[in-house]
Structure 1
Amino acid sequence: MIFSKRTFIATLFATWLPLAQAQETPVKFQLDWRFEGPAALFLVPAAKGYFKAEKLNVTVDAGNGSGGTVTRVASGTYDMGFADLAALMEFHANNPDATNKPVAVMMVYNNTPASVMALKKSGIKTPADLNGKKL
């Protein structure tokens, strides 16, 4: 059997194209902290296969703080991350000449979920009760 150049190229594309389309894009994602409630925004779609359906092979890793997440994204160790905006601003302030600066693309919280806590026996019930106290 003799193949023409055109037949060879058509056969090559017919076998190669489905393989190329089937490949998933790897995405390494770093959380700001451990696997807790707020991480559900990223863990549930991964568990339900939503990322796979879009040909994304997403790996979600626990973090050890927002500062670490920002640094890992800036270094290229991770493609994306979930971190506190203050950590991102601090990175930019401390690394003005960094060649790879992460940027914020989406706000998740309208207000920060951070809080100041004290034991009930301290008597601290309002921010005004913190006056004169030492941390």
Structure 2
Amino acid sequence: MDTVNLSKQHPEQYKLLAGLDASVASALAAAGIDPLLAELVKIRVSQLNGCAFCLRMHTRDAIAKGETTDRLAVIAAWWESQYFTEQEKAALALAEKVTELPVQDEHDTDDGALTAEQVSAISWLVIVMNAWNRLAIRSHYPVAP
């Protein structure tokens, strides 16, 4: 057996990851990161990792926070659209860099749109989101209509 539900098999580790996630949410708020931008980052990281469970969850969360279907439709090619602000572009580029280590500076749009505190908070968000994706993918969390 090489597939198990990791959160059920080791609930204490799951709780620790959830605690880290909550701590990162506090860091994002302290850095002035809009909760909707955090959802966009979670969606992009989940796209890169191929995590259907997290994609569905965070797309629904983004819509509930007011995100548009047009922006959600083009987030996978955010650099080719005019839908995103400079701060959003910088955050999405950072999400790709942290997720796909090492990455060439293909989408390096950090022109100072993010402060050092915001870069750190978003980097932690991406690190935690990568962990959640891997947990969901490895545990084969169900994603049914």
Higher Cα Rg, which structure:
1
**Greater share of helix:** 2
TM-score, structure 1 length as denominator?
A: 0.30
**Greater share of strand:** 1
TM-score, structure 2 length as denominator?
A: 0.29
